[in-house]
Structure 1
Amino acid sequence: MRVEGRVRWARFALVFVPGAVVIAMLVGAIMNGAIGAAFVVSNDKIKAAAAEVRQGPFSSYGGYVVNAEGDRIPVLVNNVTHLTAIDFCQSVVMSTPVGPVTLRVTGGHDRPVVVKDLTTYEIMLAGDITYYGLEVGRDAATLDNVPGKSGPPGVFGQQGTSGVIKNFREVSWAVTAAMFNVPDAKLTVRRDGPECF
């Protein structure tokens, strides 16, 4: 009489262990920036602008994001521990069944916008920039100004202790943050509406 329900542990290990190793490697790669944003990005870029941005310790390194078609899009992965922004604006032109629609958020006029643990996957940054404690050309795997936000080995990296950017303008594919507070926020959705710049 055969006993049902027994587990053949050798066969189980043969199937389970390689899968667990691959999952662990993927999670590690995402956490370390070897893989781009931990989600598939849309085909709509995000614009952000502010009269002034003040940021704490930051690190940046080369990376990429992936869209729904599987394309790898090169970006600069920019990590900031905390920042404040005055006269903030963020906009995206969305593709919709009724045509292009602009989603626009503004705020931080009387009180500054406050952001913590920010990561942007940017393709353009402009403004009057002043960085402090800057290190450029450092191996991304050795970046340590932002805890847990180093990049893959051998990749270009840079970091600094703080920064001030006046007339800030940025274009990115994705943004993540642990906290994003926008005082006096106003959201508008308009067909062919104005972008931030």
Structure 2
Amino acid sequence: MESQMARGGTRWKRFAVVMVPSVAATAAIGVALAQGALAASFSVSGQEFKVSAQKLDGTGFLQYGAVDAQGKNGAVPVAVSAFKSASITGMCQSVVVPVPVFGDVSMKLTAGGSGTPVQASNLYIDLDNLNADATFNNINIGIAAGDNTSPGMKGGNEKADPSSFAQEADSATLTNVQQTAWATSAGTFKLSGLSMHVSKGDNECY
């Protein structure tokens, strides 16, 4: 995970060389995020990562088809889910990175599980798989992706396809969320009860 105003990626190929300073820097950034001080993005060069949540309550929901440039073998098709604001209970993000000689290393970040949900504004998730129970309020399906301004397309590594699908809703509630994503970002991210764990082997959110 890294702090930045524009969307970007963490160079995980350097992980084997700079494991200790990278973990220290990430922990320091995590403290600032927990205090709501920074914008943030999370991506892994060339691979997906897992995201889960017990519940997500969001307003200003927008979803549209796009192409993301994160894939190690080139661009990949994604669905971008955007929320003007979101409250997330029991959030988890995890990735398993193969480190030469050492083996697989897992990084898991959890927050919002101690009674105070994670709070995010202008949240964007580039995903290619989603499982959840969902309720949408005042939904509009099949609208032209290029015509939407709420919460607005952010752009960045993904490029929206104006001829693709799109939908919007005043609000959305998702429970028992499990998804794989190529990138997440937020204008502000307040991570209550933040915990980060780095371990050897496979230790993902689900």
TM over 0.5: yes
The aligned residue for residue 34 of structure 2 is none
1:105 and 1:188 mapped to 2: Cα distance?
7
2:78·2:127 contact (CA, 8 Å) conserved in 1?
yes
Number of aligned positions between the proteins: 161
Structure 2 SS opposite 1:57? strand
Deviation at 1:79, TM superposition (A): 1.4
1:57 and 1:163 mapped to 2: Cα distance?
8
Deviation at 1:152, TM superposition (A): 4.1
Structure 2: runs of 5 or more not aligned = 1-5, 10-43
Is residue 2:176 matched to residue 1:160? no
Is residue 2:140 matched to residue 1:135? yes
1:174 and 1:165 mapped to 2: Cα distance?
19
Deviations 1:110-137 (A, max 9, x none): 2101111111110111111101111111
1:69 and 1:114 mapped to 2: Cα distance?
31
The aligned residue for residue 172 of structure 1 is 181
Is residue 2:94 matched to residue 1:91? yes
Distance 1:178 1:38, change over 3 A: closer
Distance 1:93 1:146, change over 3 A: same
Is residue 2:48 matched to residue 1:45? yes
Deviation at 1:148, TM superposition (A): 4.8
1:45·1:93 contact (CA, 8 Å) conserved in 2?
no
Structure 2 SS opposite 1:125? strand
TM-score, with length taken from structure 1: 0.74
1:44·1:173 contact (CA, 8 Å) conserved in 2?
yes
Distance 1:113 1:107, change over 3 A: same
Q: Flag the structure with more relative contact order, 1 or 2, with Cα contacts below 8 A and sequence separation at least 6.
A: 2
The aligned residue for residue 69 of structure 2 is 66
1:187 and 1:62 mapped to 2: Cα distance?
31
Q: Quick one: which amino acid aligns to residue 183 of structure 1? A: S
The aligned residue for residue 33 of structure 2 is none
Q: Quick one: which amino acid aligns to residue 141 of structure 1? A: G
Distance 1:38 1:50, change over 3 A: closer
Q: 1:119 aligns with which of 106, 120, 124?
A: 124
The aligned residue for residue 78 of structure 2 is 75
Distance 1:152 1:180, change over 3 A: same
The aligned residue for residue 35 of structure 2 is none
1:66·1:73 contact (CA, 8 Å) conserved in 2?
yes
What is the RMSD of the two structures over their aligned residues, measured on CA atoms?
Answer: 2.1
Structure 2 SS opposite 1:56? strand
TM-score, with length taken from structure 2: 0.71
Deviation at 1:95, TM superposition (A): 2.4
